A and B are shown apart, each in its own frame.
Chain A
Amino acid sequence: HAVHELIIQKNVTRSERLLIKGGRIVNDDQSFYADIYMEDGVIKQIGDNLIVPGGVKTIEADGKMVIPGGIDIHTHLQMPFRGTSTVDDFSQGTKAALAGGTTMIVDHVIPEPGSSLVEAFERWREWADEKVCCDYSLHVDITHLNDSVKQEVLSLIKEKGVNSFQVYMAFKDLYQMSNSELYEIFTFLGEHGGIAQVHAENGEIIAEEQARMLEMGITGPEGHVLSRPEELEAEAVFRAVTIASQTNCPLYVTRVMSKSAADIILQARKKGNVVFGEPITASLGTDGTHYWSKNWAKAASFVTSPPLSPDPTTPDYLNTLLASGDLSVVGSAHCTFSVAQKAIGKDDFTQIPEGVNGAEERMSVIWDKAVVTGKMDENMFVAVTSTNAAKILNLYPRKGRIAVGSDSDLVIWDTDATRTITAKTHHSAAEYNVFEGMELRGAPMLVICQGKIVLEDGNLHATAGTGRFIPCSPFPDFTYKRIKARKQLAILKAVPRGMYDGPVSEFSPMSRGGTPSASTRTSPTKAPLRNLHQSGFTLSGPEEAPIRPAGRRIVVPPGGRSNIISLS
């Protein structure tokens, strides 16, 4: 299937031979002046005074930055929701992405809980292949867990080109996983080279808080943020980091929305945990004060989970951590619902469909908030908008780098351009924009996707269905090198001891392991662990120990204190 696509693709792009002259190539590690020659959608030569065939289209970059096309590692295009779907489908959404300098997206497959992961994946492939205007990959969300799910995950990793899977710590009774389930999934992914992505919020407490808010009569969008305070995000991030560290699995936190959640990631990284944090366009560009807007539609348009923090210093703080490398990747989490769709929750904030726009604004927001302000250099800009994502998903150096042999997805970035964001001119189909009225410095001047010019002079020439599915292979070096080394170190050994030969107290085996009364808090099946050991005891216990009434103390064991029990 993929090969077939490639041929179609080549027919379209065969004629495109491009030379970019006089640009400054900016990769994540260095910047240098050189020309780039590309053919058949691949970069063929880089250097000065290149020898190229005649009749090649030449683009004069005039000393402007030439950067690897952006990779938006988090989108929800054409996402089904209660019989409808997000207003930006794969065509509309990728057009918006291209208009913002992003030449690849990674979308989330969200199977209905209980349904097949592979089937959902295939469905998403079909939707995307028909409409997508740029290359794409897919994450698959694990919305429930059983043995067949594990088999499906394995076949997605081995046969389908998926290496990242998202699990949910929120959305109680829908997608939420318990700690034990998270432990199982993380263990499984750690063994098979997958990346565990996690939606980190404490769903249990959110459910309680939501009920409390509704009871207090708070039904508007402000209830969304009031019932999901940022410490619930930080708590879940902390827990996810703990579980990932226990299971030795790389962790990727999607949508870092608050200072405290970012701080937890920062501290964990300082301690050596393999964890990556993804702030999104909205958390870097705006804040949660808008939930209190008197305009319901405006307030509702900001509803996403975890919510934007009402603390207005949050974007600045997240940009700082992004610049210092403590947060790794910027996604957009582009998930757009129309106002009419948002209005499903007009009387109850818990019913408002969640999601904000951001695919088009993603790169400009970072340039404006981090690079222009002097927090971040241009190389780091490339790292957080493109290269790191490529490394995490094992697409590097095909994507995320300007080098010979890499795909010719690149952007000429105009550092001087200024544009004002407004729903009137954006490429998304949403009738609002959460960044409405913001003036952003830095914008793409020219976008090349698969060796074809798709944006030039402000005009978009994207064709639906030209994007290819790019498979991601397991065990990316960037995330797994350390994990592999640790696996070898983490082998635990028992202490060889002589048999304990002292007295053993009598005990009544029933009073500990079994739950005396039925209660909802225990798992439905009895813990096999304890049963196992109870039976162990009935075999080895009473023969050795003299019969003694239960409850009696043994101050001095019979036969005096033996050597093994004295504590020298």
Chain B
Amino acid sequence: MSGTGYQGKKNIPHLTSERLLIKGGRVVNDDQSQYADVYVEDGIIKQVGENLIVPGGVKVIEANGCLVIPGGIDVNTCLHKPYLGTPPVDDFYQGTKAALAGGTTMIIDHVTPQPGESLLEAFEKWQEVADKKSCCDYSLHVDIPHWHEGVKEELEQLVQEKGINSFQVYMAYKGLFQMPDSQLYEAFSFLKELGAVVLVHAENGDLIAQEQSKILGMGITGPEGHPLSRPEELEAEAVFRAITLGNRVNCPVYITKVMSKSAADTVATARKKGSVVFGEPITASLATDGSHYWSKNWAKAAAYVTSPPLSPDPTTPDHLHSLLSCGDLQVVGSGHCAYSTSQKAIGKDNFTLIPEGTNGVEERMGFVWDKAVAMGKMDENQFVAVTSTNAAKIFNLYPRKGRIAVGSDADIVIWDPDKIKTITAKAQQSALEYNIFEGMECHGGPVYVVSQGRIVFEEGKLQVQQGTGRFISRKPFPDVAYLRIKYRNKMMSKQGVSRGMYDGPVYDVPATPKYITPAPSAKTSPTTHQPPPIRNLHQSNFSLSGAQIDDNIPRRSGHRIVAPPGGRSNITSLGC
């Protein structure tokens, strides 16, 4: 698919003719910075170094000492996710425009099939829409709304034929997308075999459902009900559980939307213990907080509604930036999912119906610079890592994306650390009539953005064309997630202890087995009224094992056997 897409793009004349030389900049990768010029041809970086020999008539960009960084990769956007039949106001065109204006040259969007819908069909629908509208390269995550046997085949096909290596599962949205632990276990096991990265929406949906009905019952219907019913410990709890599942199955886990300090701390602690887990804070959790849910202005309060919610604790953004800087959190997404105020107003009388999502695709890189680099928390190399390189590594795009090197795609941003911009809905690329960062001043921003070797943003002006973005397919088993997993697989093979047969007395189990549920109760699944097969196996085993030496001794129930008949045999005495 990506091949044909690329062929199509070749017809666009200015793409091929574009030869660029970026002069006088400091090339910043995640591992080092160097002063060098960059020469680009046919959408590929051809040379990096000083005094490059380039053909005549090449367009030259003077970087004037600004940073030359790999274009940003935004790994979490929802540009086509419908809510009750209506799509978000930022589609692939509007959304990728906003991304480019902020220095992001690639997005990974979430395909969100409805429960019961085919994953493959949903994927193809998304790809069709994106191919027509996207202005920058893109890839897709596929969400798994519902786990069943039939999904497995589709997942296999998506991984092996369609170039998808990441799938999202939900621990929240009870009765809709939520999976119980046993299904998560199965999903993790299966996805691990495929070499995919498991994305987890981590919130305890059971408790949320309880809290929501409690809070509605108390007469709280406004947006403040949203964070009240989804306190941050429910996020931390689910993160902890997801990591436990990941450890058990030995599968890499990627937590989307890390919104609170306690969830971030849980990720950090797990990494210290060696778990293969990645955490993704989003623009909103890094730049603002949840105190706005209590705004008297309903529309403003509703604009912040997203899940997990922004934490009402105003020290959260600072804490998340600290963890991002030290590497405990790895990737910044935007979680960009733009619903207009009138769409949000679907929930005007009930906060549980407010469509969830905040903007942030355009502001993403700027706020990381402003709040982490400009504050001295993070250096420029780590900035590149969290906005681009780490994402490319985790999702197996590296080094094609996420690095300025010979042979990499020419997705390049000239970044001016001194640029100052005030965020306002009036000046944004997004089609939203609001911006949750309204009025905030942001230091650092792109002066030039080069996407596929073409200048798309220059002196504050965008020159984009819909449909120029290509679908980038991704292979399974990304090294950064799977190298350790592979070693651990070898380590983790377990062996039983070889023992002599136990030959002591065995208590005779009466015919009524233990594991039958006496009365139907809601907590059992409908099919478990028969004992599970493993147990049958052993019940029958017992009746087969034949006569015991003490069969002739009548025993009433509750009778103790202090010393087995024939004295204590060696095997039952407990001296080593």
A222 to chain B, nearest CB (A): 5
Q: Are A183 and B206 in contact (CB under 8 A)?
A: yes
Residues in A neighbouring B87, C-beta threshold 8 A = 551, 553
Q: Would A520 and B538 be within 8 Å (CB), given that A204-B182, A432-B574 are in contact?
A: no
Give chain B interface residues in 11-51, CB to chain A under 8 Å. Answer: none
Q: Does A565 contact B (CB under 8 A)?
A: yes
Q: Does A235 contact B (CB under 8 A)?
A: yes
Q: Are A115 and B348 in contact (CB under 8 A)?
A: no
Residues in A neighbouring B510, C-beta threshold 8 A = 82-83
Q: Are B240 and A84 in contact (CB under 8 A)?
A: no
Give Cα A204 to B181, complex, Å. 6
Q: Are A564 and B526 in contact (CB under 8 A)?
A: no
Q: Can you list 16 A-B pairs with a CB-CB distance of less than 8 A? A: A113-B519, A178-B523, A183-B207, A204-B185, A205-B185, A208-B186, A220-B497, A232-B248, A294-B499, A494-B225, A512-B176, A521-B183, A522-B175, A557-B341, A565-B434, A567-B434
Q: Does A529 contact B (CB under 8 A)?
A: yes
Residues in B neighbouring A507, C-beta threshold 8 A = 83-86, 343, 346
- Excluding A235-B244, A246-B234, A511-B84, 13 further A-B contacts by CB distance (< 8 Å) are A84-B557, A145-B522, A231-B247, A235-B240, A350-B535, A493-B220, A494-B220, A505-B346, A506-B86, A509-B84, A520-B527, A521-B180, A551-B82
Residues in B neighbouring A502, C-beta threshold 8 A = 299, 341-342, 345
Residues in B neighbouring A347, C-beta threshold 8 A = 538, 541
Q: Are A183 and B210 in contact (CB under 8 A)?
A: yes
Q: Are B115 and A516 in contact (CB under 8 A)?
A: yes
Q: Are A219 and B522 in contact (CB under 8 A)?
A: no
Q: Are A84 and B558 in contact (CB under 8 A)?
A: yes
In order of increasing CB-CB distance, the 10 nearest A-B pairs are A114-B519, A507-B84, A179-B206, A204-B181, A508-B85, A83-B510, A565-B299, A218-B496, A503-B342, A242-B237
Give B residues with C-beta under 8 Å from A.
82-87, 89, 114-117, 146-148, 174-176, 178-183, 185-186, 204, 206-207, 209-213, 215-216, 218-222, 224-225, 228, 231, 233-234, 236-237, 240-241, 244-245, 247-248, 294-301, 303, 340-343, 345-346, 348-350, 352-353, 425, 431, 433-436, 438-439, 494-500, 502, 504-507, 509-510, 512-515, 517-519, 521-528, 532, 534-535, 537-538, 541-542, 557-564, 568, 571-576
Q: Are B84 and A567 in contact (CB under 8 A)?
A: no
Q: Are A524 and B522 in contact (CB under 8 A)?
A: yes
Q: Which of A146, A234, A500, A523 has the most CB of B within 10 A?
A: A500
Q: Are B248 and A205 in contact (CB under 8 A)?
A: yes
Residue interface mask A471-505, B partner, CB < 8 A = 1: 00000000000000000000011111110101111
Q: Would A567 and B89 be within 8 Å (CB), given that A223-B496, A504-B342, A517-B116 are in contact?
A: no
Q: Would A533 and B350 be within 8 Å (CB), given that A344-B509, A517-B116 are in contact?
A: yes
Q: Are A232 and B341 in contact (CB under 8 A)?
A: no
Give Cα A519 to B444, complex, Å. 50
Residues in A neighbouring B146, C-beta threshold 8 A = 517, 519, 521
Interface majority SS (helix, strand, loop, mixed), chain A: loop
Residues in B neighbouring A552, C-beta threshold 8 A = 86
Q: Are A527 and B574 in contact (CB under 8 A)?
A: no
Give Cα A297 to B576, complex, Å. 11
Q: Are A301 and B114 in contact (CB under 8 A)?
A: no
Interface majority SS (helix, strand, loop, mixed), chain B: loop
Q: Looking at the complex, which one of A341, A494, A497, A517 makes contact with B115 (CB distance below 8 Å)?
A: A517
Residues in B neighbouring A521, C-beta threshold 8 A = 146-147, 178-180, 183
Closest to B88 in A: A553
Q: Looking at the complex, which one of A180, A517, A565 makes contact with B209 (CB distance below 8 Å)?
A: A180
Q: Are A112 and B85 in contact (CB under 8 A)?
A: no
Q: Are A550 and B86 in contact (CB under 8 A)?
A: yes
Q: Does A340 contact B (CB under 8 A)?
A: yes
B303 to chain A, nearest CB (A): 6
Closest to A558 in B: B342
Give A residues with C-beta under 8 Å from B.
81-85, 87, 112-115, 144-146, 173-174, 176-181, 183-184, 202, 204-205, 207-211, 213-214, 216-220, 222-223, 226, 229, 231-232, 234-235, 238-239, 242-243, 245-246, 292-299, 301, 338-341, 343-348, 350-351, 423, 429, 431-433, 436-437, 492-498, 500, 502-509, 511-513, 515-517, 519-524, 526-530, 533, 536-537, 540, 545, 550-557, 561, 564-568
Q: Are A112 and B518 in contact (CB under 8 A)?
A: yes
Residues in B neighbouring A85, C-beta threshold 8 A = 557-558
Q: Are A348 and B521 in contact (CB under 8 A)?
A: no
Residues in A neighbouring B179, C-beta threshold 8 A = 521
Q: Looking at the complex, which one of A297, A299, A432, A520 makes contact with B525 (CB distance below 8 Å)?
A: A520
Q: Are B433 and A555 in contact (CB under 8 A)?
A: yes
Number of A-B contacts (CB under 8 A): 375
Residues in B neighbouring A179, C-beta threshold 8 A = 204, 206-207
Give Cα A514 to B575, complex, Å. 62
Closest to B146 in A: A519
Residues in B neighbouring A207, C-beta threshold 8 A = 182
Q: Are B557 and A83 in contact (CB under 8 A)?
A: yes
A206 to chain B, nearest CB (A): 10
Give Cα A273 to B267, complex, Å. 21
Q: Are B564 and A508 in contact (CB under 8 A)?
A: no
Q: Looking at the complex, which one of A226, A504, A515 makes contact with B345 (CB distance below 8 Å)?
A: A504
Q: Are A504 and B574 in contact (CB under 8 A)?
A: no
Residues in B neighbouring A509, C-beta threshold 8 A = 84
Q: Would A492 and B241 be within 8 Å (CB), given that A114-B518, A204-B180 are in contact?
A: no
Residues in A neighbouring B220, C-beta threshold 8 A = 492-494
Q: Are B497 and A205 in contact (CB under 8 A)?
A: no
Q: Looking at the complex, which one of A340, A517, A527, A528 makes contact with B507 (CB distance below 8 Å)?
A: A340
Q: Are B506 and A561 in contact (CB under 8 A)?
A: no
Give Cα A348 to B509, complex, Å. 14
B358 to chain A, nearest CB (A): 12
Q: Would A246 and B182 be within 8 Å (CB), given that A235-B244, A557-B342 are in contact?
A: no
Closest to A561 in B: B433
Residues in A neighbouring B342, C-beta threshold 8 A = 502-505, 545, 554, 557
Q: Which of B303, B502, B524, B564 has the most CB of A within 10 A?
A: B502
